[in-house]
Amino acid sequence: MCLGAQARAANENARRRYKYENERRERNWMQTISIYNAQKVKYQEDVDNASLGQAQAKVDQQQAMDRARGEAQLKYQELFEKLQKDSSYGKLAASGRTGQSTRRIGTLEFAKYGRDVSKIARAVQLNDIELARKSSKQIAALKGFKDQAFAKVAFQPVETPAPPQPVMQSVGAAAFMDALSIGGQIAGIYTAFSDKRLKENIKQIGKSISGLGIYTFNYIGQATKYIGTMADEVLKVKPEAVIVRNGYMAVNYDLIDINFEVA
């Protein structure tokens, strides 16, 4: 296949590859952003449910405290009614006995009543503390759940950058190299395309008897390595060996003491 056709084929492959990479990147991005949007919807649902759970925990705590206080009020009332009904002091006082022993009985009865009331109040207080502890634990767990849910959507995914535009080969330059045939016959003279502008990976490996540098190189975009010289050096030593074609220099190797060959 000629160099011009190779360059066109390489360019077409590069364009197809670039299009494929772009389409794949766009598909991956659409999938990524769809998953992220679904995660955001799920996050909002989780936050709403967790907030309702926290509010319900507070309501449950308050209702439990109110029930405990209501039960305590009933117990207070029962104690007072029992004191009035079964009080030995009250019976003695009603019968007209008001001596020291009677007052002592009254003191003991009221002291017991006070202890029973305090016991009920202490139970209510301890119940409040336990309910508050359970409620706080439940609320903290729900907050932790919300924090974990937020971590999943805290950072919005970023679209990957587009792949770099492919570097196209110069079909014109490749076709021109075809015309010169890199090494071939032009008007019966063996020439090689030796302009530095069309070479890369240039490395000097020696010098000829005439003082021309001997180099290894490859033509831009081509893998094959050659041994030869540089046209600009030949132009200084033996200008008649340099031929100009379409603005690029070629060398007539028949007129110099260096051979052009594949490395």
User: pLDDT for 103-116, tens place per residue?
Assistant: 898 899 889 989 99
Neighbours of 141 (CB within 10 A): 13
Q: pLDDT tens, 27-62?
A: 999 999 999 999 999 999 999 999 999 999 999 999
Q: What are the strands of the beta sheet with 189-193, ordered from one edge? A: 183-186, 189-193, 248-252, 242-245
How many C-alpha atoms does 24 have within 13 Å on its Cβ side? 7
- Phi, psi (deg, nearest 5) at residue 174: -65, -40
Is the model's pLDDT at 154 over the cut of 60? yes
Summarize the chain as % helix, strand, coil (round to 5).
65, 15, 20
Is the model's pLDDT at 174 over the cut of 70? no
Is the model's pLDDT at 189 over the cut of 70? no
% of the chain residues with pLDDT over 90: 55
- How far CA 145 is from CA of 59, 148, 152, in Å, comes to 20, 5, 11
The one-letter amino acid at 65:
M
Pairing of β 225-228 and β 213-219: antiparallel
Residue 178 has a pLDDT of: 57
Is residue 252 within 8 A of residue 184, CB to CB? The reply is: no
User: Residue 244 contacts by C-beta under 8 Å, 6 or more apart in sequence?
Assistant: 250
- How far CA 154 is from CA of 36, 147, 205, in Å, comes to 10, 10, 60
Q: Which helix (H) or strand (E) holds 164?
A: none
Q: pLDDT tens, 205-221?
A: 999 999 999 999 998 88
